Structure formats: structure tokens, C-alpha cells
Amino acid sequence: MRRQLALLDYAVGALRRRRGKSVALAGGLAFVVGLFSASLLLTDAIRHEYELLADRMPDLTVQRLVAGRPALIPESAATELEDIPTVRRVRPRVWGYYFFTALESNVTIVGFDGDAEALDVAVANGRLPREGNEVAIGEGLSDLMGLRVGDEMGVPVGGEVIFSRVVGTFGAESAIRSADLIVARPDHARRMLGVADGWATDLAVDLTTQDEAPVVITRVGERLEGARVLDRRLLRRTYELTFDTRGGLMALMLVPALAAFLLLAFERLSGLGDAERREIGVLKAVGWATSDVLIARMWESAVIAVVGASAGLVLAYAYVFWLDAPGLSDALLGWSNLRPALDLAPALDPTQALSLIGAVVVPFVAVSVVPAWRAAMVDPDSAMRGTR
């Protein structure tokens, strides 16, 4: 142990003496690891967002299809499903998208019937709407539109302007869920969305046990012609697969970059400068064994790899969670403009981070073994004469 610490101490000193080369290698490694990590972090963060979203969905969502597209569903359909065994509750929901010209983007308007548990958002300022034209909006939207509690906003619908009064703003654990959200009483939501009384966007079905979902889906199909039923568990799995695939593809595209860097590092580590050759000669001459030189050189590589990989990870974290991953998020999210901006909740799996560092450190140290061995094999006779 004492020997290893002494050799590590020597290796760190050697890296300081060859600062330029060390920084170049660690910087290159940080860049490649940063690309990898950014892809992984972003994929994980987005998957996490969607999983949160899926977890808050009803067990089943029933839609009505007309000509293969989702259409409004009569609220009365809810009563036809309530007596299916294991169905605990059926709620008609009014929600939809409203295109804000000023934002050049859709926002989601959700009708809130007083069931705060089902809505599952955390009010940051003010409260949720209780009556009339009151609305609560997501903090992202609030920031983007410059709206605060007590402000009024008007949206043109069918030739008239419908005014709403902001009574609350909320964040949510899921940025995807809250970023573009406006919550209103159901009647007010209908007016903004142009949904007639007696109709709903879909039906939210809660079950006593999710395991019965396949049976209930069959029953719903039998009772409501043209119904499409979305199973929460299947949606969650779809999100996982979608982002695993996208993240995997991104990582796959980066493999050649890592391979190229390792090759470059091998070339760079293979070439010994005069100063390095002389230094190894001195070490051999003063009684260092080949294994001592080899271990010291491998410690140098390990330090470069750990520092480079850790720096890459930190850079990736900053790029994804502080800068919102410009460029990469478009590729992974699948859309180019999301307004309000999506602030992903920072999440870093320590196991994954350690695995990533290990996955880089091990091959980097491995490719340095041969150059290290060649460097360490300076024979004492050559060392003595100052030649190789």
C-alpha cells in the first residue's frame, strides 16, 4: 500500500511536470465522456419525466375515435362503464390544447373539478381555481407570459375574447407535466377549448387493481363502439422503450468518437519525448524495477482517466441541467420548439456515473499498458549510456 501511494505520488508529480500533455489527454477524454454522459443524463432525465407523467395518469384512458382520430366523447358514456367489475371510478375529463400565437406554441388547458389528488400539482403561489374564470398556471408559462397571481389574461375564441384571472401558479415534480399547463374550472375550460356541455375529451378510469386492465379494456370495447383504451402500464413501457432506443442510438453514434480518442491516446502515449525517455532512464539507473516504472505509468493514465471522465461528467451535468442541452435535446425529445422551456429536474444515478467512469477508465488504462510497458522496458545498459 505504501509503495502504491509513493508511486501514485510520483505519478501525480510526473503529470504536473508534463502539464501540456496531461491536460490535452484529460481534456480530450472529458470531451468524449461529456458527449456520452450528456446523452445518458438527458435520456434518463426525460425518461424520468415521462415515467412521472405516466404514474399520474389514470389506470385506463378511454377515448372515442372518429375516422381513426380522437374525438369528443359524451359524458354519459361514463355511466356505461361504472358497473364493470374492478372499475373504481370513471371521470369525464375536459382538456385540450390552445395555440398561443404570441408564443407560437400550444399550451395545455385542463378542466379541474376540485379533485386536487387527481390533478396532482403543487401550488407554489396562490391557490387552485374554485369558481368562474379563475385559472392557475405553470411557473414556466407564468414566467414566459409575465403573468403573476391577480393578473388577467384574455384568449380569443371564436370571435370573442375570453378573460381569465390568474389565482395561482404551480410547479410540479414533472416539468413536462407543468411546463405548459393552464388549470381552469371545467366550465371555463370548455369555453376556452370550445367543448360543448355534455361532452368530454376522454374518460379517466381508475381500477381497484391494475392487473385486471386487459379484462376491463375488453369490456369497454364491448360497451363503447369506436373506443380506444390506453393502458397506463403499456404507455409507461412505451416511454421507456422510446427513450432507451433514442439514448442507445445516440450512445452508439458516439462509440466511434470514443474509439478514435482511445486510438489517439494510444498513439500519444506511445511516443516518448526526450525528457520522458531520460526520466525513465534515470529511474532505471537509480534502481527502479520495470514493474515500478510500469505501475507509475499506469497510475499516470488512471489519474488522467479519472480526472478527464469526472470532468466530462460534470460538464455534461451542467450542459444538460443548467444549459438545457441545446442541440441534443431536440434529437432526443423529437420536437424542436417547446414553450415554455422545459427545465428538466436534475437527476444523476451514482451507480450509472461510477459505471460510466469505470467504462472509460478501464479501456483508457488498458490502451496505455502497452506504451507504458514499452517505456518501462528501457534496458539499464541503454539507460546508462543515455541512448535507447
Partner 1 sequence: MSGGPAIAVREVRKRYVDGTRRLDAVADVSLEVPAGELWVLRGPSGSGKTTLLGLMGAMVAPSSGRVEIGGDDVTHLRDHHRTRLRRERIGFVFQELQLVSRMTVLENVLLPLVPSGGARPEDRARARELLERFGLKAQIDARSERLSGGQRQRAAIARALIRAPQVLLLDEPTAHLDTDNANEVVDLLCELRDEGSTIVAATHDPRLAEDARVDRVITMRDGAVVDG
Alpha-carbon span 166 to 168, nearest angstrom: 6
User: Between 2 and 69, whose beta carbon lies closer to partner 1?
Assistant: 2
| Burial of residue 98 (number of CB atoms within 10 Å: 0-12, 13-18, 19+) | middle
377 binds partner 1 (CB under 8 A): no
Which grid cell is 380? 539499464
122 binds partner 1 (CB under 8 A): no
Shortest distance in whole angstroms from residue 269 CB to partner 1: 19
Name every residue whose Cβ is closer than 8 Å to that of residue 272 and which is 6 or more positions away in sequence: 280, 375
User: Between 19 and 69, whose beta carbon lies closer to partner 1?
Assistant: 19
Stretch that binds partner 1, among 245-253, 318-326, 341-349, 377-385 (CB under 8 A): 377-385
Shortest distance in whole angstroms from residue 15 CB to partner 1: 11
Binding mask 283-312 for partner 1 (x = CB under 8 A): x-xxxxxxxx---x----------------
User: Between 51 and 276, whose beta carbon lies closer to partner 1?
Assistant: 276
CA distances from residue 93 to 63, 98, 183, 252 in whole angstroms, order as listed:
10, 16, 12, 42
Rounded to 5°, the CA angle 246-251-254 comes to 130
User: Between 179 and 296, whose beta carbon lies closer to partner 1?
Assistant: 296
5 binds partner 1 (CB under 8 A): yes
CA distances from residue 21 to 27, 28, 107, 262, 301 in whole angstroms, order as listed:
10, 11, 52, 15, 11
The enclosing H or E element of 95 equals strand 95-100
CA distances from residue 292 to 44, 267, 269, 272, 289 in whole angstroms, order as listed:
42, 22, 17, 17, 5
20 binds partner 1 (CB under 8 A): no
Site for partner 1 in 253-282 (CB under 8 A): 275, 278-279, 281-282
Report the DSSP beta bridge partners of residue 74. Answer: 199
323 binds partner 1 (CB under 8 A): no
User: Between 270 and 290, whose beta carbon lies closer to partner 1?
Assistant: 290
**Which residues of the chain form contacts with partner 1 (CB under 8 A)?**
2-3, 5-7, 9-10, 13, 17, 275, 278-279, 281-283, 285-292, 296, 380-381, 383-386
